[in-house]
Structure 1
Amino acid sequence: MEKIRFYMFRVIMSVMFLMISCQEEERELIDPTLDNTIAKDSQLAELMRNIVTHDGSYDDIVDGGNCYSINLPYTITRNSTEVIIINQIEDYNQLNQSDDIQIQFPVTITRDNHAEEIIDNDIELQLIADSCMVQDDDIECVDFVYPIVFATFNSSNNVINTVEVLHDAQVFGFMENLDENTVVSINYPIALRISTGELLDAGHNEELLSRILAFETSCEENDG
């Protein structure tokens, strides 16, 4: 009986030690005194937001605004006679700047923050186009390879959490919703895909920042 009690004691102590060790590792991952944390107003955070900002410049020949795009599919009339259904991005290649293009409303647009909105007429669309910056900040030459796991620590309640993101919209929302009480770090390594299709690994914040800065302007922007 004593041997059984001793064995159970050892098992319980081993489990407790493992739990404590895991908590310590999580805390080390997001220790605010370490260099692997990302402040919301840091250069790295801003560049990450620029990577995951929705690029709306590819359909400017139709909608005239780079801070949103029209969701596919939708229909246009070219030069008052030809009806064209835009099913894929490649369909824009058949259009010319000299074409008179009329959009058949309503359409749904996706803004640069990934929010969707229904537009009923040209006036509404033009108001949004007028609000766009001439030169936007989105980085079109670099993409994240998903999934990415973030670790967070909320200093107001000492809660540690992990968040797995699978696409740009999730990263954008995650970065935008951080508050001053939350410390965040990336579970490295992660990978980036540049405009040539090449994959680049990053193992820490400095390397990620260096990778983005090296390639952020390496491809031509479509903004007019």
Structure 2
Amino acid sequence: MKTSTNIIYLTLLALSLVVTSCRDEETEFIQEPAEETLAANSPVASLMQRTATNDGSFDNILDGASCFNIEFPVTVYVNGEEIDVNSEDDLDDVEDIIDEFEDDNDEIVIQYPIVIILADFTEITVNSETELENLADDCGEDNSPDDDIECIDFQYPITASLFNTNNELIESITITNDEQMYDFIDELDEDTIVTINFPITVVLSDGTSQSIASLTELQAVIQNAEDDCDEDDDNDFDDDDCDSCTDDVLTDLLTGCSDWIVDKLERNDVDLEDTYIGYVFNFAADGS
């Protein structure tokens, strides 16, 4: 009887050790989330998604639409001249041809089919100019209110940690671009606890970088930057030519360089640049 009792005690002790060992092993995988969590449909989540939304205004010279952009490469014919647009930089070549003469009728013809990328990064194949124009009309007029925030950008990569309701780490996700950030926010659900691994860095519209240490700080910074720049959501591709420069800015420009020459001068549809061949111009701050 005593032997049987000892066996029972030993069995219970062994089971106790196994349970304790399992619990100790489980705790090695439990990580407490940070104090702030990124909740689905929260104000900061909305601001983050709007910051990551695809900005389609940079190629308005081609499609006349700010709510989507054309996927490169694309072939266009500008006043009859073929241009292969492989990157945003190639749009300068398109603008140069259009700006070459002020009194001509400019024409841009796109070679179809093309693919456009919407604000939510959905891709659509477009087969004709009529289809493109209809989609552009849906964007609204120039500078219409939209959801995307263009005056601040995330600096990637950004890492997020996902926990279950027991505060157990499910996985860590590395986000490397706006599309991934947009989808990440879009797929948040209330059953998953999400934290951002701070600090992260954002880039403001003036090119400066700012380190962010928390979701509360991130929300405040995005809200402050939301309307802090011209989003350029219009079809006036010449509005980057310093039309709003002040007299002081122009004076500094003219006096800061020497030996100006006349490269192009037209008055009343008459080209006059040949008149100034061999001349150089220098400007003083007093206007002389």
Q: TM-score range by the shorter chain?
A: 0.7 to 0.9
- How far apart in 1 are the matches of 2:223 and 2:172? 27
Residue 159 of structure 1 deviates from its aligned partner by: 6.4
- How far apart in 2 are the matches of 1:158 and 1:19? 9
Contact 2:77 2:109 in 1 (8 A): yes
The 1:214/1:18 distance shift into structure 2, 3 A limit, reads farther
Contact 2:33 2:163 in 1 (8 A): no
Contact 1:70 1:107 in 2 (8 A): yes
Comparing 182-191 with 87-96, which one deviates more in the overlay? Answer: 87-96
1:61 correspondence with 2:66: no
Comparing 168-177 with 180-189, which one deviates more in the overlay? Answer: 180-189
Give the alignment's Cα RMSD to 1 decimal: 2.8
1:129 correspondence with 2:161: no
- One-letter identity of the residue aligned with 1:90: D
Report the identity percentage: 35
**What secondary structure sits across from 1:38 in the alignment?**
coil
Residue 178 of structure 1 deviates from its aligned partner by: 1.5
**What secondary structure sits across from 1:28 in the alignment?**
coil
- One-letter identity of the residue aligned with 1:52: A
Residue 161 of structure 1 deviates from its aligned partner by: 2.6
Equivalenced residues, count: 204
- How far apart in 1 are the matches of 2:26 and 2:154? 32
Please name the residue that 1:120 is paired with: 127
Taking structure 2 as the reference length, what is the TM-score of the superposition?
Answer: 0.63
Please name the residue that 1:9 is paired with: none
- How far apart in 2 are the matches of 1:19 and 1:191? 34
**What secondary structure sits across from 2:41 in the alignment?**
coil
Please name the residue that 1:5 is paired with: none
**What secondary structure sits across from 1:84 in the alignment?**
strand
- Per-residue deviation, residues 165-197 of structure 1 (Å, max 9, x unmatched): 111111111111112322322111111112222
Residue 122 of structure 1 deviates from its aligned partner by: 1.5
1:102 correspondence with 2:109: yes
- How far apart in 1 are the matches of 2:164 and 2:121? 26
Please name the residue that 1:8 is paired with: none
Please name the residue that 2:270 is paired with: none
* Dislocated runs of 4+, deviation >6 Å: 156-159
Contact 1:66 1:136 in 2 (8 A): no
- How far apart in 1 are the matches of 2:25 and 2:48? 34
Contact 1:108 1:118 in 2 (8 A): yes
- One-letter identity of the residue aligned with 2:108: I
Comparing 214-223 with 153-162, which one deviates more in the overlay? Answer: 153-162
* Structure ranking higher in strand proportion: 1
Q: Which sections of structure 2, spanning at least 5 residues, go unmatched?
A: 1-19, 100-104, 235-288
- How far apart in 2 are the matches of 1:178 and 1:122? 37
Taking structure 1 as the reference length, what is the TM-score of the superposition?
Answer: 0.79
Q: Which sections of structure 1, spanning at least 5 residues, go unmatched?
A: 1-12
Please name the residue that 2:7 is paired with: none
